[in-house]
Structure formats: structure tokens, C-alpha cells
Amino acid sequence: MALAPAVSGNTINGLGEAARRRPRMVYWAPDPDTIAHGAMQRWFYSATPPDPRFSEMRAWRQTIYDMPLPAVAAAPAQRAPQDWTAALDRFVAEGLCEKAGVAEMREDWVYEGESVAESRIIMLGVQHEHGAIAEAPGIPAAVEVLRQYGRAALAAKTVAGWLREQGWAAEPVSGPMTGTVAMIPPALACGFGELGKHGSIIDRDMGASFRLAAVLTDAPFAPTPPVDHGIDAFCAACRICEDACPPQAIFPEKQTVRGERKWYVDFDRCLPFFNETQGCAICIAVCPWSRPGVGPNLAEKLARRAARMGDQGASERRKTET
């Protein structure tokens, strides 16, 4: 806490701001000296426990970050937009990632001071192994997060490399230090799920237990639509993550953040515990949607309930009209 800056991370994030604006980088900056919480970010890495699993996993991840990308082929391949998007299924089928989606790029997802010229963002999701994440906070969970960041980076590099060989420029973006784009908004826009009370996306199949990477390109992919499984309303009636969060960082109600009402985690409360525990992850581990096999059943139950309510509503409306 001696390294905490005078400014609140919630202020940087825009908590309480009614006007829309682009996000500011609050943590995980490629150069920690450029952000107020940079000294705390450096501390996170200096405090890694002397466990060989960390150094081995970080070294493996670094080999992926360092992998060269192929040159862009001279003649761009031509496909219909739907066919470009359908071509991503192969990477999911091969197990490179668990999910892929596409959104048209929007400037308000780009951090202030950064720019993105490409028209499309391909989002890729990789799921944590639940047994390891269930041990959060602890070394197995932290090492699993590192492993999935590595898988996510590999997925982004592979998809970007494939596109370059098809004659389309493509840039991989991987976390946690993405540098340019906030990952959650485009992932929500392209059908990865809904924002949970714990501030992470809840996907129907992966729950909240996954990491994201992206590829920026001008290849004319068809966007994939956002989804609504009723998770937002589910969170309003659930408080498992709220109760499980040791520093009580998860707001029980939605907050106004840069002109939008949404679930929000108190950055200043979360960060010290997050740093002390090498990434915490309790809230994503305890979320019922993260348990293997639970999400699809819950989504179907919520869809049936919504259909019943819809039928009931229609029947009520018919009665009123007659």
C-alpha cells in the first residue's frame, strides 16, 4: 500500500462519470511508468513466490510472445464475409481456443491516447481448467491463469499468421498487457456473454473462467451478434461473488461508469488483495456459471423461464385487449 498513488483507480476508470468517454489504462500497462499504479504493477511481479511453476510457465508464455509472424502474402484471398467468420470454427474445433467471435471495431474500445486503424476485431476465448481455478487464491490458480494467457496469445498469433498467409494484414493482441484495446467491450459485442456482477464476462459455456485475446484486421469478417441469456438479471438476484470477495470489492448494485450503468468492482479494494495473492480469482472460481457443465443448463432454464414469462405477458396483453 506504500506504493499506492494518490489518485483512486476508480477515478481513472470513470466511476461516477455521467458522460461517455474512452477507457484509460488503469493497470497492466506495457510500460508501468506510464500509469499511476505502475509501482504496484511492478510489485506484483517482484512478489512472485519462489515456485518453479511460475518461472517455467512465464518462460513458456514468453516463447509465444516472441514467436515471429509470417509476412503478409501478396494477393489477398477473397471470401464472402460469412465464410471468413465460419473459417474461424476450425481453430475452435482444433482446440486452439474454446470460442471465437467478430465485431466491427469501435473507437470507444480503444484506450485514450491509442489508435486502431483496422475495421474488425476477432475475439478468442480460452477456458481455465476448473480444478486449478477452484484452488483460488493460490499457486495452482495463478499458474493456470498464466497458462491460459499463453494459450490465448498462441491462438491470436496463429489466427493472425493464418490471415497474413491469406494476404490480409493482421495484428495479434494478447493480455494482460494489451496496450491498445480494452478486451471486455468487444467480447460482449460479439457474443461472448454478459458482464457479471464480479466485473468479468459470463459466457454460457465457459462461465466466467476464461481469458481473452484478439486479432485486429481489415479482412471483411461478418460480425457475430451479442447474446442475452438473462445473466444480468441472474446476477441481480445472486450474491455469491459479493460474499466470497475477501476485501468486499464487488458492488451489490450497478454503478455509473463513463456514462453507462453496469456491474463494477472497486479497483482500490480489489487490487491490494489481488496483488498479495498473485491474481486472486476467487470471484470467477465461485461463480456458479464457472462450474463445468452448469452454464448451458442454467442458460436453458433461464430461456424457458423467459419464454414462459413472454407467453404469460402475451396472454395478459390479449386479455387486456379483449
- The site that binds ligand SF4 (CB under 6 A) totals a number of residues, namely 23
CA angle 214, 141, 136 (to 5 degrees): 120
Q: Is residue 215 a contact point for ligand SF4 (CB under 6 A)? A: no
Q: Can you tell me which of 27, 84, 149, 234 binds ligand SF4, judged by CB under 6 A? A: 234
Nearer to ligand SF4, 297 or 322 (CB): 297
Q: Is residue 235 a contact point for ligand SF4 (CB under 6 A)? A: yes
Q: Is residue 274 a contact point for ligand SF4 (CB under 6 A)? A: yes
Q: Is residue 28 a contact point for ligand SF4 (CB under 6 A)? A: no
Nearest to 126 by CA among 105, 82, 170, 157: 157
Nearer to ligand SF4, 123 or 250 (CB): 250
Radius of gyration in angstroms for the set of CA atoms belonging to the chain, rounded to a whole number = 20
Q: Give the total residue count for the chain.
A: 322
Alpha-carbon separation of residue 309 from 121, 191, 230, 302, 312 (angstroms) = 36, 24, 12, 10, 5
Q: Which three cell numbers stand for residue 270?
A: 480489489
Q: Is residue 126 a contact point for ligand SF4 (CB under 6 A)? A: no
Q: Is residue 302 a contact point for ligand SF4 (CB under 6 A)? A: no
Write out the E strands in 151-300: 170-174, 194-195, 201-202, 210-217, 255-257, 260-262
Only one of the segments 41-49, 75-83, 167-175, 284-292 lies at the binding site for ligand SF4 (rule: CB under 6 A); that segment is 284-292
Q: Which three cell numbers stand for residue 291?
A: 462450474
Nearest to 127 by CA among 208, 52, 182, 192: 208
Nearer to ligand SF4, 222 or 306 (CB): 306
Q: What are phi and psi of 207, to 5 degrees?
A: 60, -145
* DSSP result, 21-35: ------S--SSGGGS
Give the 3-state secondary structure of residue 9. helix
Q: Is residue 184 a contact point for ligand SF4 (CB under 6 A)? A: no
Only one of the segments 28-36, 68-76, 235-243, 304-312 lies at the binding site for ligand SF4 (rule: CB under 6 A); that segment is 235-243
Contact of 222 with 81, CB cutoff 8 Å: yes
Q: Can you tell me which of 81, 140, 223, 247 binds ligand SF4, judged by CB under 6 A? A: 247
Only one of the segments 43-51, 54-62, 113-121, 286-294 lies at the binding site for ligand SF4 (rule: CB under 6 A); that segment is 286-294
Q: Is residue 240 a contact point for ligand SF4 (CB under 6 A)? A: yes
Q: Is residue 190 a contact point for ligand SF4 (CB under 6 A)? A: no
Nearest to 34 by CA among 114, 150, 107, 118: 114
Nearer to ligand SF4, 102 or 299 (CB): 299
Side chain identity at residue 184, one-letter code: I
Closest distance to ligand SF4 from the beta carbon of 196 (Å) = 3
Nearer to ligand SF4, 155 or 283 (CB): 283
Q: Is residue 233 a contact point for ligand SF4 (CB under 6 A)? A: no
Which residues make up the interface to ligand SF4 (CB under 6 A)?
A: 196-198, 234-235, 238-241, 245, 247, 249-250, 265, 270, 273-274, 280, 282-283, 287-289
